Amino acid sequence: MKKTVLLLMILSVIFGSAEAKEKKVKKGKNVTITETPKVFTNEVDSMSYALGLNVGSDFSRNLAGIPGGKSNIELIIKGFTTAMKNDSALMTLEMATEYFKNYITKAQSQETNVKKSEGEKFLANNMSAEGVNVTLTGLQYKVLVPSEGKKPTANDTVKVHYTGTLINGTKFDSSVDRGEPIEFPLNQVIKGWTEGVQLMSVGSKYKFFVPYTLGYGDQGAGGVIPPFATLIFEVELIDIKPFKENVTIEDIETKKAVPAKKTGTQNIPSKSAKSTNKK
């Protein structure tokens, strides 16, 4: 009974989503509403085909997300058909559930090891590159534009321009592209930023190579930064606003200096990786 209810809930979500998309299209355009065509000779057959098409389409999109990225479509269809017709199966439902669970666990572990290995190899090679320095925490940095002067503390608010990329060159965020620098308290960002920007003086520009332990860890962020990702940031320090002990939340909000908030496509390298508003 519980499985039946769950299936009905899933189907309602699928059709509800499709209906919502259709309404959005109709709202934005002048669409002539016509009667739903009958593909087969009776409504039950047409509904059944429509149901299979919707479920199959949604399942196909999600199939790519299975760890390992591989599957046998023909055997998926065979297993599905066997279960739907209640035919004799090659394994019990309990065996199938257990096997699937173990496969996913193993595949996820393998993917994790590959992602970790990619970052570790990159950092191992990069640390010997010309001009690259390494801190005790494993943060790597390179001075692109030197400058002398006061450096920020972890409690200060800084104003910066930055560009963030993955080690494969994929750009996931850039205040430079948006044409607007960003301002935030330095103790409210990822560890790599909190540590790295404190090395800078106003007017300097650094390149940081941030291991996942100083970035977004095993969770990733915002759907654009994968789990265990090593990140590369080019950061220009524009200004430092010293910490004021009696500053209020209202003051911070007035100055739009809360790094957990997002405007447009702007991302902040904040500590938490749970929000899609954060890198």
pLDDT digit string (tens) for the chain, length 279 residues = 444 444 444 445 444 554 554 555 445 555 555 566 667 888 888 888 888 889 888 888 888 778 777 888 898 888 888 888 888 888 888 999 999 899 988 988 888 888 899 999 999 999 999 999 999 999 999 999 999 999 999 999 999 999 999 999 999 999 999 999 999 999 999 999 999 999 999 999 999 999 999 999 988 887 789 899 999 999 999 999 988 765 555 555 554 433 333 333 345 566 654 433 334
Catalytic residue among 141, 156, 162, 209: 162
Look at the alpha carbons of 70, 71, 72, 74 in this order and tell me if their dihedral is positive or negative: negative
What are residue 174's DSSP bridge partners? 163
Q: Are strands 140-145 and 132-134 parallel, antiparallel or unpaired?
A: antiparallel
Selection from 228, 227, 202, 210 nearest residue 269 by Cα? 210
Catalytic site includes residue 216: yes
Catalytic site includes residue 173: yes
Each residue's pLDDT tens digit, 170-202: 999 999 999 999 999 999 999 999 999 999 999
Catalytic site includes residue 190: yes
Each residue's pLDDT tens digit, 145-158: 999 999 999 999 99
The residue written with tokens 């308290």 in the block is 185
CA distance 188 to 232: 19
CB atoms inside a 10 Å sphere around CB 186 = 22
Look at the alpha carbons of 205, 208, 214, 219 in this order and tell me if their dihedral is positive or negative: positive
Can you give the pLDDT at residue 247? 52
Catalytic site includes residue 172: yes
Phi, psi of 246 (to 5 degrees): -100, 15
Q: What are the DSSP E strand ranges found in 119-277?
A: 132-134, 140-145, 157-166, 171-174, 182-185, 205-210, 231-241
Catalytic residue among 141, 206, 209, 233: 233
Category of 33 on φ-ψ map: left (φ > 0), alpha (ψ -120 to 50) or beta: beta
Can you give the pLDDT at residue 250? 56
Q: Is 160 exposed, middle or buried (0-12, 13-18, 19+ CB in 10 A)?
A: buried
Catalytic residue among 182, 184, 190, 209: 190
| Residue 106: half-sphere exposure toward Cβ, Cα within 13 Å | 6
| Domains assigned to the chain | 66-126 (no CATH), 134-254 (3.10.50.40)
Catalytic residue among 216, 228, 240, 268: 216
CA distance 80 to 268: 44
Two structure tokens written together for 149: 């002067």
Can you give the pLDDT at residue 271? 63
Catalytic residue among 141, 156, 173, 184: 173
Report the Cα 134 to chain-centroid distance in Å: 27
Two structure tokens written together for 251: 């003051």
Catalytic residue among 172, 208, 209, 228: 172
Selection from 84, 5, 73 nearest residue 48 by Cα? 84
Q: In Å, what is the CA distance from 254 to each residue of 160, 248, 262?
A: 18, 10, 15
Can you give the pLDDT at residue 87? 87
